[in-house]
Amino acid sequence: MLEYYNPNPSGRHVGDCAVRALSKALDWPWEKAYLKLAQAGYLMADMPSSNSVFGAVLRENGYKREVIPNECPDCYTLAEFARDHPSGTYVVGMNNHVATVIDGTIYDAWNSEAEIPIYMWRKDD
């Protein structure tokens, strides 16, 4: 299941997927997620949208990274991941994108259901 989610105050949906994903996963306004990522990026001398930067922010907030099993690396989609994870909050990394899945629902600004997930961040209860 996909639910449109775009907290970007200007309605843009290109280049800020890490901000949107963290906003949803951490229940932060878009502006707070943007500033946290920008600050972390500055301190790490890396771009705010890089895997290492948004991963550091997630880690600071109790998330742990896991690789998605490589059983069918080209056919397991984000939609299937969401169906396989009916409970919990996940930030899912794909080739050039990141989205949040909460209780089996994908939250994104466009239909990313066909994207191939590579890794995920999840928060232990």
Number of domains in the chain: 1
Q: Taking the CA of residue 114 as centre, how many other CA atoms within 13 Å lie in the half-sphere pointing to its CB? A: 2
Give the chain's radius of gyration (CA, Å).
Answer: 13
Residue 125 has a pLDDT of 64
pTM over 0.75: yes
Q: What is the pLDDT of residues 32-78, one digit of tens each?
A: 999 999 999 999 999 998 999 999 999 999 999 998 877 776 789 99
Residue position matching structure tokens 């909460």: 102
Domain span at residue 100 reads 2-123
